[in-house]
Amino acid sequence: MSAHSPEHGRYDAIIVGAGVGGLYAIHRLRKLGLSVRAFEAGGGVGGTWYWNRYPGCRCDVESLEYSYSFSDELQQEWRWPERYGTQPEILRYINHVADRFDLRRDIEFNTRVKEALFDGPTSTWTVKTDTGKTATARFCVMATGNLSTPRKPDIAGLESFKGKWYHTGLWPHDGVDFTGMRVGVVGTGSSGVQSIPIIAKQAKHLYVFQRTANFSLPARNVPMPPDKESAHKAEYPARRRAAYDTPFGIAGYPPPVKSALDATEEERLKAYEAKWAEGGSISYLYSYTDLLLNKEANDTASEFVRRKIRATVKDPKTAELLCPNDHPIGTKRLILDTDYYETYNRDNVTLVDIRSKPIQEITPTGLRIADGEYALDAIVFATGFDAMTGAMKEIDIRTDAGLSIQAKWQDGPRTYLGMMIAGFPNLFMITGPQSPGVKSQMILACEQHVDWITDCIQYLRDRGLTCIEAEEAAEDAWVQHNNEVADRTLYPLANSWYVGANIPGKPRVFMPYVGGVTAYKKKCDEVAANGYRGFHFGASFKEQAAAN
Ligand code: NA7
């Protein structure tokens, strides 16, 4: 393979993105002896944790789980101060990982990849960046993230607004002080729900513009109990292994044993109450076996949360508006909050229903809906992302055979195992669509993919092979399997970003794999153990040398 040669930008592997997945890919591929180059649009490492600096931003998976497992020294030495990591803490951790494993020297920051072109005869990818750089490599690894393409809605008049506006996913690095301001937050997904209680404490008045109510559970965040930390750390390797044997890649939650419909009303209330008190989404959804499979079972868990909302929010009209009624609980990303519903009891917070009275325009002084204008000094768009496919489709990914990712994914993503795409040889994705990624513990998902990709490249090298590509038939079968698995659940009932419903015109396709981490990993391991079943290989180095 080629030696590192920065002048000509020739590498063995190009990695797009230096978030959690990209960083680990640098580490593993470098250890394999490959020359690697990562391009990162941000000015630092961290991906989603680099960009999402909005107030209250916090992970919804517990810190002791949401961390790398590849180095026992790392997981033993890092101290997580709280049950759930805040964005600054997680970013500090990712920076520590980058330094500890000397990853920065292979990363070009402030550099966005705009194009990636595959050349068949040489089995290489050439990428072009917005800084005018061209780089070539045999392998291209897309570590571009699932929630990395922020979308603000197309609302007329935004350019005329005299105040300041922000997107939660592109938050200013030096923070925003809303003291004394009239602030509007548009959007009540995780980003809205996490930031609203904090902005409410600063703002003179906060208007929350809600189109759809979401379910949110108390996080019950606490400082990390020292005994919990030491017990967890003592069992870390076993816990990490056990995580692969769970549906969501998170160990430590006893799996449910019975249907919600086999429990009495009294039993159910007791169970839900205990989970509500404990905090956390996995725990709640693990109350019964069928909460994500059976609507009637789910109704019991959904109604419990609606009752909690009604009991918390004093104004009955506001409470009713906050009660989600268009989707079963858990079929959209279940939110964890701190004092979200309580915030609506503050005198300086107003919930505005933009479902019945949609936003008409933004004016120089505020935001107008059907029944009038709300005067605002600042607007926060917590309006989400072009999830799962947005970042890939923003790059002009093409092959010399005339195939483009835009055309290939016109009707929704098609992948084999969420890691490769038929027609795009030597292009790997970390946590791509049709893998469990966003439906699991993301760092575990990234590690599993990077390990698989590293083993795959090792396999090719051992055999002198230069090219691997997913077979069309294997991809078709995988896409079909994904859809069948999703259709057995309640997930498709929700208008979520899992189906692209938040982006007007995006094809409605269920994108994450929801067959569970255990089944997914088993499938990936079997494919590899069987000589990468469902993939075909291109010319060997020897054949290529002979042809030249
Ligand atoms: P989400 O979960 O996609 O939430 C976006 C919110 O913004 C949601 O309430 C949307 O309402 C609302 N939205 C989007 N477009 C509009 C327009 N045009 N008008 C009014 N309201 C709108 O994004 P988040 O950033 O909160 O969270 C993303 C993930 O990050 C989260 O699931 C975690 O995994 C971490 P809608 O529901 O579409 O009616």
Q: Distance from the CA of 382 to the center of ligand 1, in angstroms?
A: 6
pLDDT at site 544: 54
546 confidence band (pLDDT: 50, 70, 90): low
Q: Distance from the CA of 498 to the center of ligand 1, in angstroms?
A: 11
381 lines ligand 1 (CB under 6 A): no
Nearest CA to ligand 1 atom 12: 187
**Cβ pair 219, 337 in contact under 8 A:** yes
**pLDDT over 80 at 540, yes or no:** no
The Cα–Cα gap between 385 and 391 comes to: 10
pLDDT at site 299: 98
143 lines ligand 1 (CB under 6 A): no
The Cα–Cα gap between 444 and 20 comes to: 10
The Cα–Cα gap between 421 and 404 comes to: 11
Task: Tell me the longest C-alpha to C-alpha distance in the chain.
Answer: 79
Tell me the pLDDT tens digit for each residue of 417-436: 999 999 999 999 999 999 99
What percent of the chain has pLDDT above 70? 97
333 lines ligand 1 (CB under 6 A): yes
Atom of ligand 1 nearest to the CA of 150: 25
Tell me the pLDDT tens digit for each residue of 256-312: 999 999 999 999 999 999 999 999 999 999 999 999 999 999 999 999 999 999 999
The Cα–Cα gap between 41 and 111 comes to: 5
**pLDDT over 80 at 142, yes or no:** yes
497 lines ligand 1 (CB under 6 A): yes
Q: Distance from the CA of 150 to the center of ligand 1, in angstroms?
A: 10
Tell me the pLDDT tens digit for each residue of 480-512: 999 999 999 999 999 999 999 999 999 999 999
Name the 3-class secondary structure at 428.
strand
Atom of ligand 1 nearest to the CA of 212: 39
Atom of ligand 1 nearest to the CA of 501: 38
**Cβ pair 379, 207 in contact under 8 A:** no
Q: Distance from the CA of 364 to the center of ligand 1, in angstroms?
A: 24
Atom of ligand 1 nearest to the CA of 188: 9
Over residues 349-366, mean pLDDT: 97
Q: Name the token pair of 193.
A: 């729900």
538 confidence band (pLDDT: 50, 70, 90): confident
What is the model's pTM?
0.96
Q: Name the token pair of 462.
A: 């051992």
Q: Of 61, 66, 191, which is best to mutate to test ligand 1, by the most ligand atoms within 8 angstroms of its C-beta?
A: 191
Q: Of 51, 171, 190, 431, which is best to mutate to test ligand 1, by the most ligand atoms within 8 angstroms of its C-beta?
A: 190
521 lines ligand 1 (CB under 6 A): no
Nearest CA to ligand 1 atom 31: 190
440 lines ligand 1 (CB under 6 A): no
Q: Of 380, 502, 503, 506, which is best to mutate to test ligand 1, by the most ligand atoms within 8 angstroms of its C-beta?
A: 502
Q: At residue 547, what is the residue type? A: A
153 lines ligand 1 (CB under 6 A): yes
502 lines ligand 1 (CB under 6 A): yes
150 lines ligand 1 (CB under 6 A): no
Q: Distance from the CA of 189 to the center of ligand 1, in angstroms?
A: 5
212 lines ligand 1 (CB under 6 A): yes
Nearest CA to ligand 1 atom 30: 190
Counting other chains too, the contacts that 301-307 makes at CB distance below 8 Å and 24 or more residues apart are 301/260, 301/272, 301/329, 301/330, 302/215, 302/328, 302/329, 304/268, 304/269, 304/272, 304/276, 305/215, 305/217, 305/329
pLDDT at site 539: 67
Tell me the pLDDT tens digit for each residue of 153-175: 999 999 999 999 999 999 999 99
Over residues 47-59, mean pLDDT: 98
Atom of ligand 1 nearest to the CA of 383: 7
Atom of ligand 1 nearest to the CA of 497: 3
Strand blocks (E) in 66-211: 84-86, 107-108, 113-119, 124-129, 134-142, 164-167, 182-186, 205-210
Give the Cβ contact number of residue 472 at 10 Å. Answer: 14
Q: Distance from the CA of 214 to the center of ligand 1, in angstroms?
A: 9
Over residues 9-15, mean pLDDT: 97
**pLDDT over 90 at 2, yes or no:** no
331 lines ligand 1 (CB under 6 A): no
**Cβ pair 45, 19 in contact under 8 A:** yes
Nearest CA to ligand 1 atom 35: 190
CA atoms within 13 Å, Cβ hemisphere of 258: 8
pLDDT at site 547: 54
Q: Distance from the CA of 96 to the center of ligand 1, in angstroms?
A: 31
239 lines ligand 1 (CB under 6 A): no
Per-residue CA distances from 299 to 277, 282, 302, 304 (Å): 20, 17, 5, 8
Atom of ligand 1 nearest to the CA of 333: 32
What percent of the chain has pLDDT above 90? 95
**pLDDT over 60 at 477, yes or no:** yes
The Cα–Cα gap between 420 and 402 comes to: 18
**Cβ pair 332, 215 in contact under 8 A:** yes
Count the helices and strands in the chain (H runs, E runs).
18, 22
> Nearest to residue 182, comparing CAs of 384, 346, 380?
380
Nearest CA to ligand 1 atom 18: 153
Per-residue CA distances from 535 to 47, 445, 448, 455, 470 (Å): 30, 21, 19, 14, 4
Atom of ligand 1 nearest to the CA of 194: 26
**Alpha helix locations (H) across 32-104?**
48-51, 72-77, 87-100
383 lines ligand 1 (CB under 6 A): yes
Tell me the pLDDT tens digit for each residue of 206-240: 999 999 999 999 999 999 999 999 999 999 999 99
**pLDDT over 50 at 7, yes or no:** no
